[in-house]
Amino acid sequence: MSDPASAQSDDALAAAWGADLDADPGAEVVEAVPAQPARVLNQAEIDSLLGFDDGPADGENRTGMQKIISSGLVSYERLPMLEIVFDRLVRIMSTSLRNFTSDNVEVGIDNILSLRFGDYLNSIPLPAMLAVFKAEEWDNYGLMVVDSAMIYSIVDVLLGGRRGTAAMRIEGRPYTTIERTLVERLIHVVLADLSAAFDPLCPVTFRFERLEVNPRFATISRLSNAAVLSRLRIDMEDRGGRMELLLPYATLEPVRELLLQQFMGEKFGRDSIWETHLAEELWNTDVELDVVLDEQVMRLSDVMALRPGSRMVLNAAPGAPVQVRCGAVSLFDGRVGRRKNRMAVRIEHDTPRQQATER
């Protein structure tokens, strides 16, 4: 049982504390704050946190996280000849597309960059047509993407659309057979131009495989593999669109040594000017020829016993065949004679190289 006296003292103490709080209005009163729900970050905030927001594309001011993720990529700038090939492609396409469309066509390169194949598949703006093509000589595949604006523009141009009117775009419907056929003809023209762009470097044939509208069905490489992407801009006066050409590094591996060249025609150890100069200097080079009359095998003791005045008998009769050598290489077989009071050798025939090596 509790003591009534202690209970009364506790009530008095509580009353005294309450009076003090009422008397001091500046005293802090701690109240229970309800717990706030966890905040979910949106995609823009996540990209900004990781350093993937819209910043400089040159890669100079990238964050540490972005540098770590991109460290496995191989920059296309390490392949100088690839940029020259794409420049040739632009010039060739400008001419071929003018003949194909009978219209004024301007082709330009927006940018060339290296990226992961999976990241590119996720960034393709749909609807679009994805053309899978094969490099016959390299035994690998590439990808060409034609965006919706380019599809409707090329259909409008090839079917006689009037200039000055924008191409009609009906989104949300599958592409018709006519549209797919016309775009496929365009792809054949571009692939022929791409083969012509690579011709000065190495002959290669790009063959059209299939046309897809779903990026999942256009997977030609592992999603983590690196690739080179070239974005082309095609303008036909008030119409036009974009085409994107993607080549995985695995496709370019057979010609990697050629793409490392600094200029077209560079070949390590091969220079026509140096070859001509070397050939001219070789004609003026002095070469020593030795006529071997006889070869003998002697013991070391006999060699050590040789003194000035010692005689060695050669086992060669007059008119016997002799060898003409340059160093250790036998060049000719001949016979020793005399011409105008001088010893001479008449060459009869060449010595086969295989026979010279066997000796």
As a whole-number percent, the residues of the chain with pLDDT over 70 amount to: 71
Predicted confidence at residue 161, as pLDDT, reads 72
Considering the chain, what is the average pLDDT of its residues?
A: 77
Predicted confidence at residue 219, as pLDDT, reads 86
Predicted confidence at residue 7, as pLDDT, reads 54
Instruction: Choose which CATH entry (3.40.1550.10, 3.40.718.10, 3.40.50.300, 3.90.1150.10) describes domain 72-164+173-259.
Output: 3.40.1550.10
Q: Which residue has the higher pLDDT, 74 or 301?
A: 301
pLDDT in tens, 281-308: 888 888 888 888 888 888 898 888 888 8
Predicted confidence at residue 359, as pLDDT, reads 44
- Residue 57 CA to residue 112 CA, distance in Å, equals 11
Query: Taking residues 228-236, what's their average pLDDT?
Result: 90
Predicted confidence at residue 194, as pLDDT, reads 92
pTM over 0.75: no
Task: Count the Cβ atoms, other than its own, within 10 Å of residue 47.
Answer: 13
Residues pairing with 333 in the sheet: 323, 349
Q: How confident is the model at residue 152 (pLDDT cuts 50, 70, 90)?
A: confident
Predicted confidence at residue 192, as pLDDT, reads 93
What are the residue boundaries of the structural domains of the chain, listed by start? 72-164+173-259, 285-358
As a whole-number percent, the residues of the chain with pLDDT over 90 amount to: 13
Whether the pLDDT of residue 252 is over 60: the answer is yes
Predicted confidence at residue 56, as pLDDT, reads 45
Residue recorded with tokens 């290669």: 204
Predicted confidence at residue 134, as pLDDT, reads 92
Q: Which residue has the higher pLDDT, 225 or 71?
A: 225
Predicted confidence at residue 104, as pLDDT, reads 86
Whether the pLDDT of residue 21 is over 80: the answer is no
Q: How confident is the model at residue 206 (pLDDT cuts 50, 70, 90)?
A: very high
Predicted confidence at residue 190, as pLDDT, reads 93
Predicted confidence at residue 253, as pLDDT, reads 87
Predicted confidence at residue 29, as pLDDT, reads 47
pLDDT in tens, 311-353: 888 777 777 788 888 888 888 888 887 788 887 888 888 888 7
Predicted confidence at residue 58, as pLDDT, reads 46
Q: Which residue has the higher pLDDT, 11 or 90?
A: 90
Q: How confident is the model at residue 185 (pLDDT cuts 50, 70, 90)?
A: very high
Task: Count the Cβ atoms, other than its own, within 10 Å of residue 240.
Answer: 18
Predicted confidence at residue 193, as pLDDT, reads 92
Whether the pLDDT of residue 13 is over 50: the answer is yes
Predicted confidence at residue 143, as pLDDT, reads 92
Residue/partner pairs of 255-260 with CB below 8 Å, 24 or more apart: 255/138, 255/201, 255/202, 255/204, 256/79, 258/81, 258/201, 258/202, 259/79, 259/80, 259/81, 259/82, 259/85, 259/201, 260/78, 260/79, 260/80, 260/81
Q: Which class is 285-358 in CATH?
A: mainly beta
Predicted confidence at residue 145, as pLDDT, reads 92
Query: Taking residues 271-276, what's their average pLDDT?
Result: 77
